[in-house]
Structure 1
């Protein structure tokens, strides 16, 4: 497996191991490498614009001097001041335009690179992380970097250039008043240092408490149906209140430690203290005859820019820290190793599925979830995977479409190791119908076409008919053009399941893996689903994860798993007669079917 490679359009490096990820997490500037030219241009334009603005203010001082001396060049200085001010405005506006374009470019490259990388990492990793974590990185963290590049980089140019140029101009006009302005600036800087003492630990706690609040809010909203059914809000809202109390305690401690110095910093770095100091200092020098009025006016016009321009740099610290945290999470996701790609592709010769002494362990665990699993599913047959909860049924099924790679042994389709097949070839040979049917917020037709976007409308309807979905789709206001809603919420569970079956039928893969599609169906929908599944299974190799044992009595083969091993295999009657694990499961299933309200499973009729 490649240990590192250039990310598609992102400029990051893929780190091939957890050890590498711990040793080195690149910072925000490395992540921004593709748009560094735009960032530098925006900073430079903002800095030049600030210098032009200061030059315009200096030209106003020349206007004052011309007025006092009746200089005929008065209007020259006025026009120069206006011109420089307009140049300053244009450059600063253009700096934000350039920074926003760079931000959009970075956003596109990051999201393109992330989604491209997500398509190549194990699906099992995505399932383990959950959609919330991945969404936060792809959406929120990329947006944070966009905001930083778009809004903060021009402020950086202005915040650095303005005080430096201002100090140079003040030194050229009167070094004594320049030192007065610098003294005010140093007092403000000292107050900032006092305000930020102990910031590392407090910022860590602040970030942790913010994440805790975000998590409890999402949990409270997502669990609202459960909360309103089983809880008066005391427990669920109590967690949110506890998160708020923790955040309040952190902020209270921060204010206690740095509140006074923070207020002092904000006050000192405002324009008025500098203006007051320069006024008093200039007044003494003017009355002593050591300063002319024109120079004093120029110092007053220019001096406030020194301390005032540093104030945005204080807030930039927060934005940089936030952007760095987002950059770190993006790098960590990009560092997740991709599934190894084979040097040469092997194509399956038929639709058989074989597990050859497969052992598998989840990441971070030493014990194997599957141990020496071996069985063969001949082409065109139906094999059911059964076993107690936690026996490894879903893990076995998900190794076929390569959610993870095995630790030992091999999973083969038509004799070809799935690790030697490209993702396109593998997905072209295996359809996976999940128990939890997922639909996109798109039309019904688009959802059915997902596996074959070029399919005609006639082919879509044929697949829907085979999946027993055509009738209810035709009754919708817009038929096949009706929107399914987010996650298919405008349809019932059985309707969503039949649409996903239509999707699999249209895709036409020779191998189908079913995660008990009828597990949560009502009796009416179950009949339609069974008919739909029968059409899906025709002429295909089928592996079904079975929870309702009555649905797999006629399976060509039943593989019984227990504690991650194959306990036994065979057909229904033989396994029942053998008196093993399957017989015990069947007995429990039969007794459970006899249960009715008000009557135990062992009660006499």
Structure 2
């Protein structure tokens, strides 16, 4: 474990020094008991061994002082090496991993490592390592002292050591899998409880207040049975370990008594040996329990290693910078960069998502990505930010492959707004300023006005100092979205990626934010994913995606003039504008609104409500 920890930290952790310090504590404790030999011999002879008493007292004081010093050092090592250093290393490493690594339970895994695993590791230097070392060195010292009194008794002490070691290893082997099994069981129970709680509105609305309990009860019953079985499997080798230690004490006492009655062992020596035997088994009996702690520490190190071994996105040896271009006229010129997809092919594991996708987004323009769910729209925006690397082809910014750019440089050029917004449990001002910590108040207020966040702030009792709660839970979906948009705008990045950024806004605010985005597109390359037609038709260019390929590209008017999916949708929408439920249809005629719905689903665009 010590070698693994040193390797993870890339430096000495300090654990080896602690082992030496704790060993000194254990040895001195054993020697203090060893001093009882000359003390009791002298007392039985009617003498007072002042010298040996002083030596024993000094040894006890030295042992206590060493324990205090090493324990304090252990606390510092636990905080510095086992938590702070590893936590910082994990945090730094996670930021280099591709987003694809965070699929499935990975986010929960990192959270568990940062809390439970590192907490377990923090107690290793100050508590577990101390107890384990003392539990080994003190009995070892006692055996050596006993050998000077009578080698036969010392041999009896050593006799069960191989069997104890076997049980110790057995405990370590069993504890790890059983601990993992218990964690899975507890997770399942928690999920069932949360599920039952979330279903309360549905269950109560349908008058089925007790439905769901059966499944929850079955899960709880299974958890109880499995947990008891797990404890039984863990306790069996531990019980055998403790029983063997107890039998060792009995055997030592029997042999000592036999030797004393036979005159082969002096009375004083027999008393000392019995005291030493008690001191021998006392820490040894606890050693079995420490095997569980050792296994949990190994499991925690396994979890940390699994994260740190994950391959990050490769960084270029010689980073390149994009070539900016001037955008606009002399009165309002700006500098921007292009975004180009060149024969991009990409898939998640074995599932292909994009195939030979090629198009270019010019600076100062808004490009809308349109297509059904699963057509690859969101994936394209994430490839721009290099959340993943393409399987084939290239994504270029300003003519430079994103793989040839430094990650920090790439991140500074992109502002993103996702459909599912996450806000930190801080104030609105702090969440907006997160986009640009050096932004002035004037810049923040300008971004807020553009995102129509200023009207939200004006209505809140504490204004900009209103806390949003964890994840932004204290705000509505539309309010969270406006905070997110303002946060992206204040970055003043040359590339803005909007993934359903206006989905949580009503029609009026969506139109206002859409106008602000077009206004702010001067000098910026804006790529927007939207399903509402009014948002799409205002784009400079529309890219229609289908089944991972580009089906059509053009402006709204150009696409309408072609006989494609986009024009088909628009015609259906126009025809449906005057259609009402009172229209008479023959029994064999397919209702027109069904055709409209099918086309909308294919294209992934919502029809606005025309009343």
TM surpasses 0.5: yes
Q: After superposition, where does 1:328-343 map in structure 2 within 5 Å?
A: 328-342=302-316, 343=318
Q: Tell me whether 1:95 sits opposite 2:70 in the alignment.
A: yes
More off after superposition, 94-103 vs 390-399: 94-103
Q: Residue 138 of structure 1 corresponds to which residue in structure 2?
A: 114
User: Residue 259 and residue 303 in structure 1: after superposition, are their counterparts in 2 closer, same or farther (change >3 A)?
Assistant: same
Indicate whether 1:242 and 2:242 are aligned: no
2:452·2:513 contact (CA, 8 Å) conserved in 1? yes
Question: Equivalent residue for 2:135?
Answer: 159
Is 1:407 the counterpart of 2:407? The answer is: no
- Tell me the TM-score normalized by structure 2: 0.83
Partner of 1:215: 187
Change (3 A) 1:516 1:131: same
1:427 matches 2:447: no
- Larger mean CA deviation between 111-120 and 528-537 belongs to 528-537
1:53 correspondence with 2:29: yes
Contact 2:189 2:219 in 1 (8 A): no
Q: 1:459 maps to what in 2?
A: 443
User: In the aligned structure 1, how far is the partner of 2:572 from the partner of 2:268?
Assistant: 100
Structural mapping, 1:435-584, within 5 Å: 435-523=419-507, 526=510, 529-530=513-514, 533-534=517-518, 536-584=520-568
Contact 2:511 2:535 in 1 (8 A): no
Do residues 31 (structure 1) and 5 (structure 2) align? no
Asked if the contact 1:468–1:531 (Cα under 8 Å) also holds between the matched residues in 2, the reply is no
Q: 1:484, CA displacement in angstroms?
A: 2.2
Deviates more, 1:402-411 or 1:468-477: 468-477
Q: CA deviation at 1:329?
A: 2.7
Matched, 1:67 2:20: no
> Is 1:434–1:517's contact at 8 Å kept on the other side of the alignment?
yes
- Cα 1:163–1:552, aligned 2, differ >3 Å: closer, same or farther? same
Report the CA distance shift for 1:62/1:34 in structure 2 as closer, same or farther (over 3 A).
same
Match of 1:43 among 19, 25, 39: 19
Classify 1:534/1:221 alpha carbon distance in 2 versus 1 (closer, same or farther; 3 Å).
Answer: farther
Q: 1:280 to 1:302 in 2, by over 3 A?
A: same
Aligned mates of 1:506, 1:52 — CA distance in 2 = 65
Structure 2 match to 1:114: 90
* Aligned position for 1:229: 201
For 2:285 and 2:576, the matched residues in 1 are separated by 71
**What is the distance in 2 between the residues matched to 1:595 and 1:222?**
44
CA RMSD in angstroms comes to 3.4
After TM superposition, the structure 1 stretch with the greater mean CA deviation from structure 2, 135-144 or 450-459, is: 135-144
The answer to whether 1:359 aligns with 2:334 is: no
Per the alignment, residue 20 of structure 1 pairs with none
1:384-406 Cα offsets, whole Å, 9 max, x none, are 10011111111111111111111
Aligned mates of 1:566, 1:226 — CA distance in 2: 40
More off after superposition, 105-114 vs 469-478 = 469-478
* Whole-Å separation in 1 of the counterparts to 2:582 and 2:80: 66
Equivalent-residue separation in structure 1 for 2:4 and 2:398 (angstroms)? 46
Q: 1:126 aligns with which of 92, 102, 105?
A: 102
Paired residues, number: 569
Cα displacement (A) at 1:456: 2.5
Contact 1:467 1:498 in 2 (8 A): yes
Partner of 1:5: none
User: How far apart are residue 533 of structure 1 and its match?
Assistant: 3.9
Correspondence for 1:252 among 214, 221, 229:
229
1:553–1:572 Cα contact (<8 Å) kept: yes
Partner of 1:344: 319
Query: Distance between the aligned counterparts of 1:412 and 1:564, measured in 2?
Result: 19
Of 264, 283, 293, 1:319 maps to 293
Deviations 1:52-73 (A, max 9, x none): 112222223433333332324x
**Do 1:184 and 1:307's aligned partners in 2 also have CA atoms closer than 8 Å?**
no
Matched, 1:372 2:356: yes
Aligned match of 1:82: 57
Does residue 307 (structure 1) correspond to residue 281 (structure 2)? The answer is yes
Aligned positions of 1:198-209 closer than 5 A: 200=173, 206-209=178-181
Instruction: Between 577-586 and 302-311, report the one with greater CA deviation.
Output: 577-586
- Shift in Å at residue 142 of structure 1? 2.7
Query: Is the Cα–Cα contact under 8 Å of residues 28 and 324 in structure 1 kept in the other structure?
Result: no
User: Of 148, 151, 158, which residue of structure 2 is paired with 1:175?
Assistant: 151
Q: For 2:406 and 2:542, locate their aligned partners in 1 and report how far apart those are by CA, in whole Å.
A: 30
Task: Give 1:293's match in structure 2, choosing from 243, 255, 267.
Answer: 267
8 Å contact kept, 1:467–1:536: no
Structure 1 pair 356/274, CA: closer, same or farther in 2 (3 Å)?
A: closer
Q: Structure 2: which 5+ residue stretches go unaligned?
A: 204-208, 326-336, 584-590, 595-610
Q: Distance in 1 between matches of 2:419 and 2:98?
A: 20
Per the normalisation by structure 1, the TM-score is 0.84
Q: Deviations over 1:497-532 (max 9, x none)?
A: 111111112110121111111223345654564455
Contact 2:414 2:493 in 1 (8 A): yes
Contact residue 185 and residue 306 of structure 1 kept, 8 A: no
Tell me the SS of whatever aligns to 1:34.
Answer: coil
Q: Distance in 2 between matches of 1:334 and 1:399?
A: 23
| Unaligned stretches of 5+ residues in structure 1 | 1-10, 12-25
Alpha-carbon deviation of 1:240? 7.9
| 1:429-455 Cα shifts (integer Å, max 9, x gaps) | 211111111111222222111122122
Q: Is the 8 A contact 1:357 1:409 kept in 2?
A: yes
